[in-house]
Every structure is written in structure tokens, then in C-alpha cells.
Structure 1
Amino acid sequence: MWTTSNPAIEMPALFERGADTISFAGGLPDLSGLPLTELAAQVSRQLRLGGRTTLQYTTPHLASSLVPAVAELMAMEDVTARPEHLVPTAGSQQGLLAVALGLGNPGEAILCQTPSYPGATTAFRTAGLVPVSAPSDVDGVDPDALREEVSRLRADGRTVRLLYVNPTFHNPTGATMPVPRRTALLEACRELDLLVVEDNPYGLLGFDGTTTPALASIDPDNVVYLGTFSKIFAPGLRCGWLATPPALTATLRSVGEIMTLSPSAFAQAILAAYHGKHGWDGLIADFRAGYARRAALMTSALADVLGPEWDWRQPAGGFYVWLRHRDGTDTASFEGAAAAAGVSFVAGRHFSVAGEHADGLRLAFSYTPADRIAEGIRRLGKALSPVEVAA
């Protein structure tokens, strides 16, 4: 199922930073709250007592010691984890490619909620799938419009069997799909024989501590759920999972094994040890509070410096603020001025499937030091001003 054709959209440079550049580009988590001294002691103990096991190859199954940690996370969004149908991944990115390779065929269409995470659309294209924008409104993918789009595609002779969505604190808009819309969407997907791919890295990061039932909690046998520890622990461990419908587990486990041969037993052991001692509540609460503070600082600064030609929503969770230029200007035209001003963002074109959303731009508040956010937005306001662009 692999294709040698190059993806049509390259991944944006998310993690590169100049010496004095204030970066709002990459969605990096703030790891300052991790108990690194304690983690170092746990890692040392893991190596001394079990290093010959945790540093060895292992089977393509989630470690039994990590299952309770995953089950607790999924239960927060009303999903019952079925251990035999959990497939380990090296973060959600590997999971996306595994889904595309295992469940799609080159040339098939995959419907994508847009604007869409560029890592997903690039993975789909790399596997030979053709992303198609799923009709959406402010509440997410529109079930009735989806029916019409699928009918149109199939009438044109296209094969479409997959729908990709990021329904909770969506990347890049930060929006969350309401529960009634989730139910209606899943009903439509059943009617249309569409399998839903639910990408959920931010679902537990609501600023007020509330959560929304995951799509996988409503229709677990028609949703492939992608979970990750990258946003609620540490991305450097490269550890995530797929929760799969029973009929698809063997296929996705085989593809995952082909891609990585073996998941990291060491990373799984570190996560399991942390969870066994602390659980998740305290760490996730700290993340929520920190991100809520940064989001408030960013939106307050935006209100002070941006003109009426820009529109955005106050985020309720996640990592991002999504700006839209009301006159439809392509925000890539501001990148040079932003770089000169010492600030970075991700232009909306990176989140498109077919050129849409070029008038948007994504700002990540999750990693920027709180005392640098106002200065970063001041620089951004200068870069986005008509005078600067005209110059």
C-alpha cells in the first residue's frame, strides 16, 4: 500500500527557533511541571532492576503494566478501554500512518475535517490516499452535507471509506464538537459505511476541567481512536496507542509491527511507573491551569493589538488560537514580516486540503513563557499591520 509519490503538502517547520524569536508555531507541551528528579530516580531503578527486559525487543502489544494508565485516561472521556484491542504506537503520528496504510488503498479518498492537522494529511498522502475536505460548520463536520459529499464522490466513481476528525479542542481552531453533533455524525457514518478515525491528543486539556465524551465512547465498533502521551506527559517518549474495533485490531497491530518492529518497552515502563505512583489527576490539572493562563494572556494581548480585520475565538482548552483574516488575505504573505519582527506562526495554508483556509493562521500558546506572550503578540501585531505588509 506504500506509494513513492511525494506528499502534496510539506510539514511546516514547527520546532525551529532563532535566538530571539518568540515562537507561536509548534504545539509543544510545557514540561516544566514534570518531577524530573523523581523521574530520573525511577528511570535509574528501571534500568537497575529490569533493564535487560525494558531495553529489549518486545511484542506489538501495549504492556500490561501500562493498560491501567491508558484505561484511566480513556475513562475520563467515557471510553471503556478493551486491553486486547489496544495497539501501541510511537505517538499519534505513527498511528495515523498505520491507519492509512492498514485500512486504505492508494487512490481512495479520505474525508478530513478541515482545517486539518498537516501531519495527518501528509501521512494520508504518503500512504497514497487522497484527502478530501469534509463539509463543516462551526460545530464540526455537518452530517447532512457529509451525506451529500459522499454520494457525490461515489457517483463520480471514487472509493471513500474513511473520515478523519479531531473533534475535541481541534487542531488548529481549538473548537469542540457538541455532543448532539457527535451522535448525528456517527449515525451518518454508519449509514454511509464510513469508518471514523478520531484523533484525540488534546481532549483532556479543557481549562475548566470538564471533558466531552469521545466519539469512541458513542460508537466504539466504528471508531479507531488515537491516543497519545505526548500532550499530557512528554512527547520525547514517543508513546501512544490505537483503540480499535475488534475486526481491525489484527490488521493495525501487524502494520504497526512492520513499521517499528517493536514498541519501546522502556518508554512504556516509565509511563506505567509514573502512573502507578501518582495517577494522572494532579499532572493533568497542572497542565490545564498553565495552559488556561497562557491562553488568557494571549487573547488579551490580541485584543489590544489587532485590528477589526482579524477574527478569533476564545479557546476553552487545548494549545491553540486560530486567527482568520476577514478580507481573505493569504496569511503566508505575513511570514517574512513576522520573521523580521522576531515572531513565528503557522500559516493557514498548511492546514488545507485543497487550498482552503489560507486566510487563517495558528498561534500556539502552550510552550511560550508566560512573560513573553505579550511581547510576542506585540511583534505579531506589527507584522500583521497593513503598513508593514505594504512595505
Structure 2
Amino acid sequence: MWTDTRPAVEMPRLFERGGDTVSFAGGLPDLDVLPLDAISRQMSALVRLGGRVALQYSTPHVAQALLPAIVDLMGREGARPDAGGLVPTSGSQMGLMAVGLALAVPGETVLVQTPAYPGAAAAFRTAGLRLHALPRDARGPAPEGLRETILRLRGVGRTARLVYCNPTFQNPTGATLDVDRRRELLAVADELGLLLIEDNPYGLLGFAGETTDTLTALAPERVVYLGTFSKVFAPGLRCGWIAAPPEQAAALRRTTEVMALSPSALAQAAIAAFHARSGWTELIDRYRAAYRERCALMTDALERELGDGGQWTWQRPQGGFYLWLRHRGGLDTGPLARAAAERGVSFVPGSHFRIDGEPSNALRLCFSHVPRERIAAGVSRLATVLRGDAA
């Protein structure tokens, strides 16, 4: 199953920070909203009273105590997961790797929503899969384009059964597929026997509290769902899950056991204890408010610095972590990233989100973790580079 294929997509160094640089690069959550004193007390009690279990190896199953936390989260977007189909992971990135290894064979083609999350592209390529762009239109991934592409690939002898998408507050564009389009894609999947891989880290982070039914809520038999606590709780615990149809769950469980032997019993217990005491509503609301404020500060600053009708276009996100800028004239943003670094601001060039290795006229800005008081200054530095008037 393993191959010597190397990832063709370089993972950007998203989490490096230092000096006076204002980082709009990495998608880090704002952990200032966490009730750290309460979490500290809960974890202390957990280790003191149950440390011999929490610090031991465990089985490759979601702990019974953690099930209510997962059911609660998924239920907010319309899903009703079956406990037998839940597979623990150390986060969605592990889930992506497990999907590539367990549900496909090297040489298969996976259709990928583009622009694509680089971690998904790297995971699938490392598993030996071939990537193909999922056709899109103004509303997002296009059902008729999906049908035509699958039939064309199969017509030349290529196996194409998997479709990867990030349908809610997508990384990197921030876009969300409407429910009608989701149903249309699922109808094509049912017609052609496809399995959709739904990556959903940001679905509960709509600024106004709105949610959209997940693909797995609409057609659980056609979807392998990747869930994570990294964006609604804390990434440092490295805890997530896969919700899969029974026929896929067994293969995924075997693969994740090979990858990690067992999930972290401590991480699962800590999250379960937090949810049992506090639930999710208050914490998610605090995250939403923090990101709503930062997004407004960033978009307001961009409008002041770059104005309407200029060379750069963007849409104000309604949730998630990211803002996607595009240059009307097709300017390659790769060199701009180096120029911006010299001015003390960082972002991720759009080329990192392509699957063909070509330059891009887009760039991604992340607002989720930037100190509020530094957003305007960072945008001002960035605008100097984007306008082309840097010294």
C-alpha cells in the first residue's frame, strides 16, 4: 500500500513566527477564548483520579465518554453519526492519509476541489494517488462537470471513485456550497458509485451562527466525513475522528491502528470531560465572535488600503479563518510573498493551493490568530507590496 511517491505539493511553513513579522499565513485558532483555568482543573483531576487509564495505550475506537461530544458537534450540522462508523484520528490530516491508504490503491484518481488544501494534496499523493481537479462553476464544484470528468477518466481506463471536498468555509477561499448544490453532487455520486470525502474543520464557525447541513447529514452512505476538535477546541490535543459507512470504517480502523497504534486516551478523556461539564455552545460562540471581529478588522483595512475597483478583488467571508485575494491581471503572487516577508508580513501564495504546480494570481490571508491591534498595521505593510510601491 505504501509507495515511494513523494508529495508534489510543498507544505508551507504556516506556523513559524518571530520578530516583528505579522503573520497572515498559518490557520491557528485563537486560544485566548479557552477557559484555561477550568481546563487545567479538569485535566489535573483526570490524571489524579484516572491517570492509569488516561496515560495508557487504548484501542482504535472512539472512547464511549467522547461519543456525546462528537454527536453534539455533528448534530449541529444535521448529521446523526453511527457509533460503529466512528474511527479516532489525531486530526483531519491523519484522516486524509488514512483515507488515501485504506480506501484506494496506488494509481487511482481522486477528484479534488480546487483551489485545494495542500495537506490533502500531499496526503493523497503520498498514498500514491493521482489528483484531478473537480470542475467548478460560479456556485462551486459542478455536478455536470463531475459526471463528465468521471466518465471521461473511466473511458480511458482510469479508476476514479473518490471525490475530496471542503464544502463549508473552504480552505483557502472561505466559500460555502449551498444545500441544493450539495444534493446535486450527491445525486451524481449515487449515480456513478462515488464516495465523497468531506473535510469539515470550519463548519461551525459561521460568524452569525448559521450552519449548513453537511454532506454526511444528507447522504451518510455516500460520504466519509473527517472531523476534528482542532478548530472548535484546541489543536494541541491532536484529536479528531472519521465518520464512515460501515463498509469503509473497518478498513479505516485497521489503517489508523497501523499508523498510530492507538489514539490518545488522555486527549479523548480531556475533551469528553470538558464537553460533559460545559457543552460546546459557549465556547463555539466565543470563537465565532473572535473571528467575526478579526475578519471585520482585516476586510475594513483592505478596503481602506486597496479600495474598490482596484487590481485586487476579494469577498468578505461569512465564517471560517480565511480571506482569498485575486489579482485581476494574473500577477504571480509567489514573488510577492518574498517581498512581503522583507516588509514584515507573511501570507500563503495561491500556488500552494494548486494541484498542477503552476503559478497563481491569488493569495490566502488568515485572520484567526493575528493580534487585533496588529491587523491594520499588517494589512498596511501588505498593501505596500500589493500596490507595487514597496521601496
1:42-94 deviations in Å (ceiling 9; x for gaps): 11111111000010000000000000000000000000021111100000000
- The superposition leaves residues 172-226 of structure 1 with CA deviations (integer Å, 9 ceiling, x where unpaired) of 0000000000000000111121100000000000000010000001100110000
8 Å Cα contact 1:351-1:357 kept in structure 2: no
Q: Which amino acid is 1:265 matched to?
A: A
Corresponding residue of 2:121: 121
**Partner residue of 1:218?**
218
TM-superposed CA distance for 1:384, in Å, is 1.3
Query: Which shows bigger deviation, 32-41 or 20-29?
Result: 32-41
Alignment of 1:324-343 (within 5 A): 324-343=326-345
Counterpart CA distance in 2 for 1:63 and 1:167 is 28
Distance in 2 (alpha carbons) for counterparts of 1:325 and 1:378: 17
Q: C-alpha deviations, 1:97-128, integer Å up to 9, x for none? A: 00000001111110000001000000000000
- Residue pair 1:115, 1:357 contacting (<8 A) in 2 also: no
- Alignment of 1:2 with 2:15, yes or no, is no
1:149 Cα deviation after fit:
1.1
Amino acid at match of 1:360: A
* Structure 1 residue 387, shift from structure 2 partner: 3.2
Q: 1:146 to 1:357 in 2, by over 3 A?
A: farther
Any unmatched runs of 5+ in structure 2? none
Deviation, structure 1 residue 355: 3.7
Aligned length: 389
Matches within 5 A, 1:335-354: 335-354=337-356
Q: Is the 8 A contact 1:179 1:213 kept in 2?
A: yes
2 CA distance for matches of 1:18 and 1:284?
29
Aligned ranges for residues 1-391 of structure 1 at < 5 Å?
1-306=1-306, 308-355=310-357, 358-388=360-390
CA contact (8 A) 1:227 1:242 kept: yes
Once the two structures are superposed, what CA deviation does each residue of 1:254-289 show, in whole Å capped at 9, x if it has no partner? 001000000000000000000000000000000001
Distance, in Å, in 2 between the alignment partners of 1:387 and 1:288 is 35
Residue 18 (structure 1) shift: 2.5
**Quick one: which amino acid aligns to residue 166 of structure 1?**
N
Structure 1: segments with no counterpart, 5+ residues: none
TM-score, normalization: structure 2? 0.98
Deviations 1:134-182 (A, max 9, x none): 0012322100011111122112221111000000000000000000000
Structure 2 CA distance, aligned partners of 1:157 and 1:327?
Answer: 38
Contact 1:86 1:244 in 2 (8 A): yes
Are the equivalent residues in 2 in contact too, given 1:321–1:362 (CA < 8 A)? yes
- Quick check: 2:167–2:200 contact (8 Å CA) kept in 1? yes
Query: C-alpha separation between the residues in 2 aligned to 1:306 and 1:354?
Result: 30
Aligned residues of 2:302 and 2:379 also touching (Cα < 8 A) = yes
| CA root-mean-square deviation | 1.0
Deviating above 4 A after TM superposition, structure 1's stretches of 4 or more consecutive aligned residues are none
> In 2, distance between residues paired with 1:138 and 1:27?
25
